[in-house]
Amino acid sequence: MDDQSYYQQQLELAREMAQHGLRKPSLQICFNLRVHTDLSLYTRALVNMTLADLTDLKEHPDKLKYAEEALQLARELLVSTRL
Protein backbone atom coordinates (compact mmCIF):
# COMPACT_ATOMS: atom_id res chain seq x y z
CA MET A 1 0.00 0.00 0.00
CA ASP A 2 1.43 3.38 -0.95
CA ASP A 3 1.42 6.37 1.39
CA GLN A 4 -1.51 8.14 -0.30
CA SER A 5 -3.71 5.06 -0.02
CA TYR A 6 -2.75 4.73 3.63
CA TYR A 7 -3.58 8.39 4.30
CA GLN A 8 -6.95 8.07 2.58
CA GLN A 9 -7.67 4.91 4.57
CA GLN A 10 -6.84 6.74 7.80
CA LEU A 11 -9.09 9.64 6.84
CA GLU A 12 -11.94 7.26 6.06
CA LEU A 13 -11.43 5.63 9.46
CA ALA A 14 -11.54 9.05 11.13
CA ARG A 15 -14.75 9.96 9.34
CA GLU A 16 -16.39 6.66 10.29
CA MET A 17 -15.34 7.08 13.90
CA ALA A 18 -16.84 10.57 13.95
CA GLN A 19 -20.14 9.20 12.61
CA HIS A 20 -20.21 6.83 15.57
CA GLY A 21 -19.61 9.61 18.08
CA LEU A 22 -15.89 9.06 18.54
CA ARG A 23 -14.97 12.68 17.89
CA LYS A 24 -11.72 12.93 19.87
CA PRO A 25 -9.97 9.91 18.29
CA SER A 26 -11.22 11.08 14.92
CA LEU A 27 -9.72 14.53 15.47
CA GLN A 28 -6.44 12.97 16.58
CA ILE A 29 -6.19 11.01 13.34
CA CYS A 30 -6.92 14.14 11.32
CA PHE A 31 -4.38 16.25 13.21
CA ASN A 32 -1.81 13.48 12.71
CA LEU A 33 -2.55 13.43 8.98
CA ARG A 34 -2.09 17.20 8.69
CA VAL A 35 1.59 16.97 9.60
CA HIS A 36 2.40 14.80 6.59
CA THR A 37 3.90 17.07 3.96
CA ASP A 38 3.36 14.50 1.23
CA LEU A 39 -0.45 14.44 1.49
CA SER A 40 -2.10 14.93 -1.88
CA LEU A 41 -4.04 18.19 -2.34
CA TYR A 42 -7.28 16.23 -2.45
CA THR A 43 -6.61 14.33 0.80
CA ARG A 44 -5.35 17.47 2.55
CA ALA A 45 -8.53 19.31 1.52
CA LEU A 46 -10.70 16.48 2.88
CA VAL A 47 -8.74 16.39 6.13
CA ASN A 48 -9.24 20.13 6.55
CA MET A 49 -12.97 19.88 5.75
CA THR A 50 -13.28 17.13 8.34
CA LEU A 51 -11.44 19.23 10.92
CA ALA A 52 -13.64 22.24 10.16
CA ASP A 53 -16.68 20.04 10.74
CA LEU A 54 -15.51 18.24 13.89
CA THR A 55 -13.58 20.81 15.87
CA ASP A 56 -15.32 22.54 18.74
CA LEU A 57 -15.22 26.33 18.60
CA LYS A 58 -14.41 26.57 22.31
CA GLU A 59 -11.43 24.25 21.97
CA HIS A 60 -10.32 25.59 18.57
CA PRO A 61 -11.36 29.24 18.23
CA ASP A 62 -9.41 29.38 14.96
CA LYS A 63 -11.33 26.48 13.40
CA LEU A 64 -12.25 28.65 10.42
CA LYS A 65 -8.66 28.26 9.18
CA TYR A 66 -9.39 24.61 8.33
CA ALA A 67 -12.31 25.53 6.09
CA GLU A 68 -10.31 28.34 4.49
CA GLU A 69 -7.40 26.02 3.75
CA ALA A 70 -9.77 23.41 2.31
CA LEU A 71 -11.24 26.05 0.01
CA GLN A 72 -7.76 27.19 -1.09
CA LEU A 73 -6.76 23.59 -1.79
CA ALA A 74 -9.94 23.04 -3.79
CA ARG A 75 -9.04 26.08 -5.91
CA GLU A 76 -5.55 24.70 -6.45
CA LEU A 77 -7.02 21.37 -7.50
CA LEU A 78 -9.35 23.08 -9.94
CA VAL A 79 -6.50 25.01 -11.53
CA SER A 80 -4.26 21.93 -11.73
CA THR A 81 -6.97 19.88 -13.47
CA ARG A 82 -7.46 22.57 -16.10
CA LEU A 83 -3.82 22.55 -17.14
Q: What is the pTM of this model?
A: 0.89
**pLDDT value of position 11:** 97
Per-residue pLDDT band at 83 (split at 50, 70, 90):
low
**pLDDT value of position 80:** 85
Q: Which domain holds residue 25?
A: 3-82
What phi, psi does 56 have (nearest 5°)? -90, 135
> In total, how many domains does the chain have?
1
**Cα–Cα–Cα angle for 77, 80, 83, rounded to 5 degrees:** 150
Query: What tens digit of pLDDT does each residue of 62-80 get?
Result: 999 999 999 999 999 988 8
Query: What tens digit of pLDDT does each residue of 2-49 get?
Result: 999 999 999 999 999 999 999 999 999 999 999 999 999 999 999 999
